[in-house]
Structure 1
Amino acid sequence: MDTDQQSPTPQVQWVEITENHSEQRLDNFLITRLKGVPKSRIYRIVRKGEVRVNKGRVDVKYRLVIGDIVRIPPVRIAELTDGILPVNRGLTGILQHNVLFEDDALMVVNKPSGFAVHGGSGIDSGIIEGFRQINPGQRFLELVHRLDRDTSGCLMIAKKRSALRSLHGQFRDDTVTKTYLALLSGQWARKKLVVNQPLQKNISKGGERMVVINQNGKESETIFRRLKLYRDATLVEVSPKTGRTHQIRVHAAYLSHPIVGDDRYGLDDINKSFKNRGYKRLFLHAETLQFQHPVSGATVKVSAPLPQQFGDYIKNEEQI
C-alpha cells in the first residue's frame, strides 16, 4: 500500500514495507524517501512522533520489517525534477568511467575526491544519486559504506537488498579488509604502529562536526605502516580494523603527523606549503577492498588506482 501521489501540496504518506526495505533503519529509509530534506529535520519529525510505524512511535534506529506500515507526515520539499536530486553533469561523466567491479549484486567504484557519497544538508547530490541517474532502470542502488567527501578510492554500492544485508554484516563483523594510502605531514620515525584510541563524535563551537579521542568513546583501531620518507611527508599504508567516522584522520593527528591536506585535523603551515606547490587535496585514498561475495561466497579483492595528484607527488618528490 502506497498512497504517495504527485501533488503541489504535501500529503500524508502511508507506505507498506516490502522486501526491498526490510531490515533497513528507519532514518536511512526516510532519507532515501524524502530526498532533499535535511537529515536534522528528518530526525526531528521522528522525535516529535510525526513519523509512526504501525501507528506507534519508534526510534530512528528502528529496523523495518516486511509488512510494517510507515506514516510519513507532509513535508514540503524544494521542487525537484521528477523527484530526483539534480546531479552535477561532470560527476556523472566521471562516474561512468570509474567502475572497478560490477555484477548483478554489487559494484565497487573509484570515488573521486571532492564529492560527497550522498546528497544531504547543503549538498544537492552525491555519488549514489549520480549512479541512480546513470542507471534509471536499476530498481535498487544503496551505499554499503561511506567515505569522507575529500577521500578518494574504493566505494561499494549494493544492487540488491540481500547483498546489502550480507555486506553490512561483513562490515559490522570487521571481516572486510580495507587498505588506504595516506601522506602524513613531516617525517614519521616509526616503521609500524597500532593506534588504539577510542573515538567520540563532538561538535565544535563553530558547529563543525569533529571527532575527538575520548576514553568514553567507541573502541577504534588503526594500523600504520611506513612505506616511503620524503622531505616534508611520509607515505604510509593504513589498515583500519574498525570503521569510525574520521578514524584514520584523527588517529594520524594523534601521531602528531596529520594527513596532508586535512583542513579539519591537519597543520595549516604544511597544508599551505602543499597548496602553493599545486597539491590541493586530502592525501587519503582507499586503495583496496577485500570481502566475501554476498552470493557466491568467493573472496573478492578490488584495487583503485591512485588519483593524479597523489601519484604525481610520489613520483616527482625527492625521497629520503
Structure 2
Amino acid sequence: MILLKVKHIDAGGRLDKYLLKFLKVAPSSFIYKMLRKKNIVLNGKKATGSELLTENDEIKLFLADETIVKFGGSVILSQTADREYIDLEEDSIESEDDISLYNSLKFLKWEFDTPQIIYEDSDIIILNKPVNVLSQIAKKDDKSMNEWLIHYLINTGSFTYNDFLTMRPAVVNRLDRNTSGIILAGKTLRGLRFLSNIIKTREITKYYLTVVKGEMTKNQTAEAYLVKNDNHNTVKIYRNKIDGAEYIKTAYEVLEVSKGHSLLKVELITGKSHQIRAHLSFLGFPLIGDGKYGLKSDNLLYRRMGLTSQFLHSYEIQFPEIEGEFSHLSKTTFTADLPTRLKNVACKLGFNLLL
C-alpha cells in the first residue's frame, strides 16, 4: 500500500489531476479503473476522481511497487510495514528538464523594476506590476510576472522543488505590458481556484487611474461593442452590436480636470482586451501616451515629459463578501502605488490629487 498525504499547496485540486501528476506516465483510463475497483481510495472511501482535495487528505494506492514505478511514481519503505511515498530530495530527481527549469527560475536574472508586494498569505499574493513587464509569457524566452512570482516564492522558502513538480503558482488576471498595477496570483491550487472564480463571476471590483486628452465634464457609464483583431493585436469599438462583437461596459469618474486633460478613475465592469484604452478613444478622450489608440502628434509632447507608454494604472481592487476559508478577505480593499514616472507626468499637467 502506498500512502499519499495531500499538502497545503495541492489542496483545492481534483483527485484525478493529483494522481496523474504522481503517476506521471499512467493513462487516465488506468487511474479511473483503479478508482472504480477501489484500488485507489480517498480517506478510506471509494472516489470518482472529481473530488476536490483538502490539506492532509490521505490517498491510498493498493498497487504493486512495480506498477507504481512503471507509471512514474516513487516508492520508499516507511518505518511501518506499509510503503509510503515520501518527497524526494532535490538531487535525486531524475528529470533534467525539471531541474533545469527550476534552477533557471531560482536564479532568475530580472532586468525590470521589482514588483511591489501589496498582500500575501498562504494561498494568494497581490502584486504591483511595473511597466514594461508581461503578465504571462508570449514567447519561450520571455520573462513575465509568472516567472518572477515563482522566483520569489522559491527564494523565500515557501515553494520547494517538490512543490514545483506538482503545481505552478500563477497570475490570474492580465495587464498589458505597458499597464502597471494590481496583479492577483495564486500560490496554491486552492488560491488559484478562488481567484479565478471571483474574476470569472465578476464579483471582484477593479478600478484604474488614467489621464486622457480632453476635459470630461461629468461622470458616465458607457456601453458599446468590441471586436478584436488578433492579427494586429488591436480592437475596434462599435456603438451597436455587429457580428462577432462582444458587449463591454465601463464607468468613468472625473477626479480632476487640468490644462485640457482629465484625470479619471475607471471601473472595469466587463474585462475585455484593451477595453479602457479603445473605449475612451471611441468616446473622444484618448489616453495620453497611447501608441495604438491615442493621438500620435500629442504623444511627442508626453514623451518629452517622460511618458513612454499609455498613462494607465490598475489602482484598486475590492473583494466581495466572502464566507468560508477565504472570509479573511471579505470586503477588503487593496491599492497599488502609482509609479513615480506617472506621478511626475501628472504633476507637469497640473494634477494635484496624485501628489
Q: Distance in 2 between matches of 1:258 and 1:227?
A: 16
Structure 1 pair 123–247 and aligned structure 2 pair: CA distance change class (3 A): farther
| Cα displacement string for residues 33-84 of structure 1 (whole angstroms, at most 9, x for unaligned residues) | xxxxxxxxxxxxxxxxxxx9769xxxxxxxx9679xxxxxxxxxxx998125
| 1:27 alignment counterpart | none
SS of residue matched to 1:219 = strand
Instruction: Return the alpha-carbon distance in structure 2 between the equivalents of residues 314 and 269 of structure 1.
Output: 19
- CA distance change for structure 1 residues 65 and 184 in 2, over 3 Å: closer, same or farther? farther
Aligned to 1:105: 123
Aligned runs of 1:1-320 on 2, under 5 Å? Answer: 22=14, 82-83=100-101, 87-91=108-112, 94-95=114-115, 98-121=116-139, 124-136=142-154, 137-138=158-159, 139=163, 140-185=168-213, 187-203=214-230, 207-214=231-238, 215=241, 216=243, 217-292=245-320, 295-296=326-327, 298-318=330-350
- After TM superposition, the runs of 4+ consecutive aligned structure 1 residues lying more than 3 A away are 18-23, 52-55, 64-67, 84-88
Which AA in structure 2 matches 1:110? N
Q: Secondary structure at the match of 1:135?
A: helix
Structure 2 CA distance for aligned equivalents of residues 267 and 53 of structure 1: 54
Amino acid of the residue matched to residue 101 of structure 1? Y
Query: In proportion to residue count, which structure has more helix?
Result: 2
State how far apart, in whole Å, the 1-side matches of 2:262 and 2:287 are.
Answer: 9
Q: Deviations over 1:133-160 (max 9, x none)?
A: 1222523411121111111111111112
Deviations, residues 1-28 of structure 1 (Å, cap 9, x unaligned): xxxxxxxxxxxxxxxxx867649xxxxx
Letter in 1 for 2:326: V
Which amino acid in 1 is paired with 2:273? T
Q: Is the 8 A contact 1:154 1:286 kept in 2?
A: yes
Seen in structure 2, the aligned counterparts of structure 1 residues 182 and 66 have a Cα distance that, compared at 3 Å, is: same
Query: Which structure has the larger Rg over C-alpha atoms?
Result: 2
Residues in 2 aligned to 1:222 and 1:53: alpha-carbon distance in whole angstroms: 44
Residue 192 of structure 1 aligns with an amino acid whose one-letter code is N
Q: In the aligned structure 2, how far is the partner of 1:105 from the partner of 1:118?
A: 20
| TM-aligned CA deviation for residue 259 of structure 1 | 0.9
Unaligned runs of 5+ in 1: 1-17, 24-51, 56-63, 68-78
For residues 139 and 51 of structure 2, the distance between their equivalents in structure 1, rounded to whole angstroms, comes to 29
Q: Take 1:309 and 1:65, find their aligned partners in 2: how far apart are those partners?
A: 49
Amino acid at match of 1:197: A
Letter in 2 for 1:143: V
Amino acid at match of 1:291: F
- Residue pair 1:231, 1:319 contacting (<8 A) in 2 also: no
CA spacing shift, 1:212–1:131, aligned 2, 3 Å: same
Structure 1 residues 239-266: Cα deviation after superposition (integer angstroms, max 9, x where no partner): 0111111111111111111111111111
Find the residue that maps to 1:221 and give its secondary structure: strand
- Aligned residue for 1:146, secondary structure, equals coil
Deviation at 1:213, TM superposition (A): 2.0
Task: Name the amino acid aligned to 2:206.
Answer: K
Q: String of CA shifts for 1:212-246, please: whole Å, max 9, x gaps.
A: 22423222110011111122421111001111111
1:160 partner letter: T
Q: What CA distance in whole angstroms lies between the structure 2 residues aligned with 1:161 and 1:319?
A: 43
CA distance in 1, matches of 2:351, 2:174: 33
Deviations 1:156-215 (A, max 9, x none): 111121222222221122110111100112x23331121111222213xxx321112242
Task: Give the superposition deviation at 1:113.
Answer: 0.8
Q: Which secondary structure does the structure 2 equivalent of 1:196 belong to?
A: strand
Rounded Cα–Cα distance in structure 2 between residues aligned with 1:83 and 1:287? 33
Give, as a single letter, the amino acid of the residue that structure 1 aligns with 2:250.
T
CA distance in 2, matches of 1:114, 1:148: 9
Alignment length (residue pairs):
250
Code of the residue aligned with 2:110 in structure 1: it is R
Secondary structure in 1 aligned to 2:289?
Answer: coil
Identity of aligned residues (%): 23
